[in-house]
Amino acid sequence: MKKTSSRLADGRELIYYDSADAVVRDAVDRRPLDPVATDSELRHDRLLGDTVAIASHRQGRIYHPPADQCPLCPSKEGRLSEIPAADYEVVVFENRFPSLTGSAGRCEVVCFTSDHDASFADLSPADARLVLDAWTDRTRDLSQLPGVVQVYPFENRGAEIGVTLGHPHGQIYAYPFVTPRTELMLRSLAAHRQATGGNLFDDLVAAERADGSRIVLAGEHWTAFVPYAAHWPYEVHLYPHRRVPDLLGLDEDARAEFPHVYLELLRRFDRIFGDGQPPTPYVSGWHQAPFTGLGDYLDDRRDFALHLELFTIRRSSGKLKFLAGSESGMGAFINDVPPESAALRLREVASK
């Protein structure tokens, strides 16, 4: 993998990731951009104990532009975009409208391919491996920034999810705090250790593999399953067999197998509801151990288990699961699809 770092016209960092060392990236951003002005602010909720980012500048971000004005496509004469090059493989750049800024973290955009009409599921295994390597490299670099506590690479796909740019892309959030979801995991991890002396992640994965009814697919180095208490209609968790705290810890065998496993999962998601249905909207993200701020929960961050969570808000053909009063107001989820039925369906739509 070759990494080439440059700057956009307003000073934001842009990084090309290429599979061939011979590729030269010297295109210059010729847009007359003013310096980015942001006013992100973190506020602590004393009642709930979590943190909220106030980012009013995001009201001006680009919203569902026509395909011929996509800011994530390569630049060409007469249409300059966020990517100065005429073509690219994988690109990462600082978000122009970040939720987290300066000493309050960092937000980046990851473009998986220059093909506007593709999706992650359309990538080749080699292309998906390059994205994995880019995620890993960004995790390493972002974790070293002052104040960054946790790094979360993720993808939102589909207008139903709230995506405002159709080009295949994801984001990376570098949080200056431990997120509420991770803190809940850490509490459960610590309580399980105190009660049993074991590792909760290891025991959960072992239990799912032993039961088998919720396993979606298993390789030599990865296992994907629908969790016993899935929150979403179709929700899959993907774990490496060797517990590691973050993407940096994956060995070459796990890295080599991941593209095949993940691409198969994404392609199955698009087949859940049958032929002729629009692409399945989903959220997919990597849960990694915080780099600092573990507090009283862990003696060693290696007790945390890297895993990927993939879920859709579509519950049946043409129907979405909206977060209604119980979920939005109280955080108490109600799932219409039994996890065992979801796992069975995801096995039924396996590639031939």
Number of residues that make up the chain = 352
The one-letter amino acid code at 308 reads L
CB 142 within 8 A of CB 107: no
When the pLDDT of each residue in the chain is averaged and rounded to a whole number, the result is 94
Strands (E), the chain: 2-7, 13-18, 41-44, 51-54, 90-94, 106-111, 150-157, 169-175, 215-218, 222-225, 234-240, 282-287, 307-312, 314-316, 319-320
For 44, other C-beta atoms within 10 Å of its C-beta total 11
Q: Which whole number is the average pLDDT over 36-52?
A: 88
110-119, 222-231, 321-330: which has the minimum mean pLDDT? 321-330
CA atoms within 13 A on the CB side of 18: 14
User: 180-348 belongs to which homologous superfamily?
Assistant: HIT-like (3.30.428.10)
For residue 276, the model assigns a pLDDT of 81
Question: Given this model, what pLDDT does residue 284 score?
Answer: 98
- State the pLDDT at residue 65: 87
Select 2-175's CATH number: 3.40.50.12280, 3.30.428.10, 3.40.50.1110, 3.40.50.850: 3.30.428.10
What's the average model confidence in pLDDT over 325-347? 96
Domain boundaries, the chain: 2-175, 180-348
* Overall pTM > 0.85: yes
**Lookup result for tokens 């579509």:** 314
Position 145 scores a pLDDT of: 95
Inter-residue long-range contacts of 158-164, CB under 8 Å, 24+ positions, other chains counted: 158/279, 158/280, 158/281, 158/282, 159/64, 159/281, 160/281, 160/313, 160/314, 160/320, 161/281, 161/282, 161/283, 161/313, 163/281, 164/61, 164/62, 164/63, 164/64
Confidence band (pLDDT; 50, 70, 90) for 123?
very high
What mean pLDDT comes out for the span 28-41? 88
Amino acid at 190: A
Instruction: Report the amino acid identity of residue 314.
Output: R
pLDDT at 329 (0 to 100): 94
pLDDT confidence of 103, banded at 50, 70, 90? confident
Percent of the chain with pLDDT over 90: 85
Q: Would you state the pLDDT for residue 266?
A: 98
Mean pLDDT of 252-279: 95
Torsion on CA atoms 192, 198, 203, 204, rounded to nearest 10: 20
Q: Is 287 a catalytic residue?
A: no
pLDDT tens string 134-146: 999 999 999 999 9
CA distance 55 to 104: 11
Parallel, antiparallel or unpaired: strands 106-111 and 169-175: antiparallel
Mean pLDDT of 252-261: 98
Q: Tens digit of pLDDT for each residue in 6-24? A: 999 999 999 999 999 999 9
Cα–Cα separations (whole angstroms), residue 77 to 25, 31, 80 = 17, 12, 7
Joined tokens for residue 129: 């491996």
Residue range 147-165, pLDDT digits in tens: 999 999 999 999 999 898 9
In this model, does residue 309 exceed pLDDT 80? yes
Tokens of 214: 């919720």
Tens digits of per-residue pLDDT, 46-83? 999 999 998 877 766 676 788 889 999 999 998 999 99
SS3 323: coil
Are 342 and 314 a contacting pair, CB within 8 Å? no
Helices (H), the chain: 125-143, 180-196, 200-211, 252-269, 330, 339-348
Residue that has been written with the tokens 């090309």 in this structure: 16
What integer pLDDT is reported at residue 67 of this predicted model?
83
What pLDDT, on the 0 to 100 scale, is given for residue 39?
Answer: 75
Point out the catalytic residue in the list 169, 221, 287, 307: 169
pLDDT at residue 60, rounded to an integer: 62
